[in-house]
Chain A
Amino acid sequence: MKMLVPVKRVIDYNVKVRVNADGSGIDLSNVKMSMNPFDEIALEEAIRLKENGVVTEIVAVSIGVKQAQDTLRTALAMGADRAVLIEATSDVHQDIEPLAVAKLLAAVVREEEAGLVIAGKQAIDNDLNATGQMLAALLGWGQATFASEISIEGSKATVTREIDGGLQTINVTLPAVITADLRLNEPRYASLPNIMKAKRKPLAEKTPADYGIDIAPRLTVIKTVEPAARKAGVRVGSVDELLAKLKDEAGVI
Chain B
Amino acid sequence: MAVLLLADVNNGDLAIDGVAKTISALKTLGEVHVLVAGPAPAAAEAAKLCGAAKVLHAEDAGHGLAEPLADLVVSLAGNYSHIAAAATAFSKNVLPRVAALLDVMVMTDVTAVIDPETFERPIYAGNAIQTVRSADRIKVFTVRTASFAAVEQHGAAEIQSVRMGSFGASAWIEDKIAASERPELTSARMVVSGGRGVGSRESFALIETLADRLGAAVGASRAAVDSGYAPNDRQVGQTGKIVAPQLYVAVGISGAIQHLAGMKDSKVIVAINKDADAPIFQVADYGIVGDLFTILPDLTDKL
Contacts and interface: CB of A to CB of B under 8 A. Distances in A.
A172 B90 CA distance: 17
A132 B93 CA distance: 9
B133 A219 contact: yes
B83 interface: no
Interface stretch (B21-29, B51-59, B64-72): B64-72
Q: Which of B94, B285, B288, B299 has the most CB of A within 10 A?
A: B285
A1 interface: no
A164 B90 contact: yes
Interface string B269-284: 1100000000001011
A98 interface: yes
A167 interface: yes
Contacts of A243: 299, 302-303
A26 interface: yes
Contacts of B164: none
A71 interface: no
Interface stretch (A73-81, A85-93, A189-197, A226-234): A226-234
A19 B127 contact: yes
Contacts of B170: 142-144, 170-173, 176
Nearest to A226: B128
Interface string B220-251: 00100010000111000011010000110000
A124 B125 contact: yes
Nearest to A128: B108
Interface residues of A, number: 81
A128 to B, nearest CB: 5
Given A243-B302, A245-B286, A102 B124 contact: no
B247 A252 contact: yes
B152 interface: no
A204 interface: no
Contact of A172 (B169, B264, B288): B169
Contacts of B241: 164
Given A26-B128, A182-B239, A218-B135, A127 B96 contact: no
Interface of B: 8, 10-11, 15, 63, 65-67, 70, 88-90, 92-101, 103-109, 118, 122-136, 167-178, 186, 190, 214, 222, 226, 231-233, 238-239, 241, 246-247, 257-258, 264, 267-270, 281, 283-289, 295, 298-299, 302-303
Closest 8 CB pairs of A and B: A142-B169, A130-B96, A133-B96, A134-B100, A137-B100, A218-B105, A142-B170, A165-B177
Given A26-B128, A168-B175, 6 more contacts: A26-B123, A158-B173, A162-B232, A164-B90, A230-B285, A233-B281
